[in-house]
Copies of this chain bind each other. A is one copy, B any other.
């Protein structure tokens, strides 16, 4: 990778404090630390405390580690669904979550929205034991609104609500009384090396997994929710985890908490606002997501059409590396991650360069 500013939506540019933390980690022997040591337990504990502060997680929620958000899709289906899950699908990643339910032999229902669109308020009925939502569809830059996410708990009190927040956290402020689980991977908004997924669950999720287990349903082996929680209570993991990744996460969440969730949110909104504004004013670029309330603040997608290569070339000569469009939109769109590691100054520079392209 050439030096410059990386705007690809994941793996993202590292959070600016990571280099220092890595150096310190190697000096302190973290990469060869036993996952059964007191020192590891205190790293786990510190990660939980930092995330709880940063994301304002209420008591009654537990934080466990998997290898990736992809793994968490699988574990959610295995542990929280006996027969039927209901998925809101509006892009490649929400679709993959749905497909995993099918692969695991569940009856998966989907409500679909067109690419680049969000959903109407849900007025139908569902028998799904799980409502699977993707807060931020990384492929298209569509975000679900908080009222949309929050409607399900009241309508379907027996269903569990799980939210994929892979490319949005730590930006969004979820109402944890309206959701049962939320998860992310660290290589996006948290700006860390890939190889770690973070799964946040409440007691209802644990109860569901225990109930499936007691009925004789196979819910996995080492990474069942009961097994993850049994170890989490000791600040340990069932298997040897990515110890270095957990250490780095603990450091970065504390850095972010010191800066403050509010400051991160304000900055994110400012950067999103100036980029969307520039796209709207542009001669030939425009925001891909038409409806303003559905536009992601953290993954901003530009419709660049036949100018895609030209724009990419100009940006790259200035050391700015945009993400390509996803899948079939590779050659006609550009995606810009707007994560906490991207400074206001970097975004202002990006906007200046983009606006000058005619």
Chain A interface residues (CB < 8 Å from chain B): 1, 3, 6, 8, 10-14, 18-19, 22, 26, 28-35, 39, 66-71, 73-74, 77, 99-100, 103-105, 185, 187, 192-196, 218, 220-224, 238-245
Contacts and interface: CB of A to CB of B under 8 A. Distances in A.
Nearest to A246: B195
A239 B71 contact: yes
A248 B240 CA distance: 18
A13 to B, nearest CB: 5
A200 B220 CA distance: 22
Contacts of A71: 67, 222-223, 239
Contact of A193 (B74, B103, B243): B243
Contacts of A240: 10-11, 68-70, 185, 187, 194-195
A239 B68 contact: yes
B10 A105 contact: no
A192 to B, nearest CB: 8
A100 B221 contact: yes
A221 B74 contact: yes
Nearest to A217: B105
A187 B14 contact: no
A8 B32 CA distance: 9
A222 B77 CA distance: 13
Contacts of A19: 26
26 contacts: A1-B33, A1-B39, A6-B29, A8-B34, A11-B31, A11-B32, A12-B32, A14-B31, A14-B32, A18-B31, A19-B26, A22-B26, A67-B68, A68-B239, A71-B222, A71-B223, A74-B220, A74-B222, A74-B223, A100-B222, A103-B224, A104-B221, A194-B240, A195-B242, A195-B243, A195-B244
